[in-house]
Structures are given as structure tokens and as C-alpha cells.
Amino acid sequence: MTHTHTLAVRVYYEDTDFSGLVYHASYLRFMERARTELLRDLGLGQRELLEAQGGLFFVVRAMTIDFRKPAQMDDLLTVETIVREVSGASFDLDQRVTRGEEMLVSAQVRIAAVEGGRPRRLPTEVREKFAAVAMPRGA
């Protein structure tokens, strides 16, 4: 697997607001789908983690997002996800939504591991899978 995970997303009518531009919350859904597919590609199905790891799941702990340019209905977008840092109970991602070479939205996301409503350390296997594809900023 390359260090940058990509997911193609087509913009549908349901993703837009009354002006015909992509509604801001739709970008969050696009990025969530990309994070889920990244987990799958790493062999970390969320349902399996929830069942096999005693109720482990991931939550967005923090997100900084920069909306630069709008997308429109029928645009074909790419969501890029890069694992930047892995720590004991969380990992940091950079995500970008592009249309061709044009950057539309960028986000920095911190994902935390939770079990029973409380933070927990990432299992060693999970941490190692993220670390194997991590590209620290500036590297």
C-alpha cells in the first residue's frame, strides 16, 4: 500500500446545498468514508475491531479544516488520506479533497481509540499497521 490512500467520490445532488455547491458537511462525510476505507485497506475493519478488541472503536477527537474552493454537482473528487503520527491512544491524519490537481479542502484530523466510552491505548497490532504507512510531516 502506498503512503497516500485515495478514494474517488462523485458529487451527487444530495451532497449540495440550494446554490448547487457542495454543502460544507458533505466534505466531512467524504473524509469519513476515506478514513473507513483506509482502515479496511490496512486490514482493520471497524466491526471486527469492535467485536474482537472488546469494544474498541475510533472517534474524531479534533479536526481543523480549511475550505478553499467549492465543488459542484457531478464533480469527480479525490479524497487523499495520509497517516502522519501514531501515539499511544491516537493517530493523526492529513486529508485533502481535490478535483484533478485543484485542492478544494484540507483537514488535519486526530483520531482517538475508545472502549466503553473511555480512551484506551491502541492495540499493538493496530499501532504497528498505522506506523508502517505513516509519513511524518516534513519527512
Active site residues: 17
Please tell me the distance from the alpha carbon of residue 89 to that of residue 114, in angstroms, as a whole number.
Answer: 8
3-class state of residue 124 by DSSP: helix
The Cα 89–Cα 58 span in angstroms is 10
The greatest distance separating any two alpha carbons of the chain, rounded to the nearest whole angstrom, comes to 47
Identify whether the C-beta of residue 67 lies closer than 8 Å to the C-beta of residue 24: yes
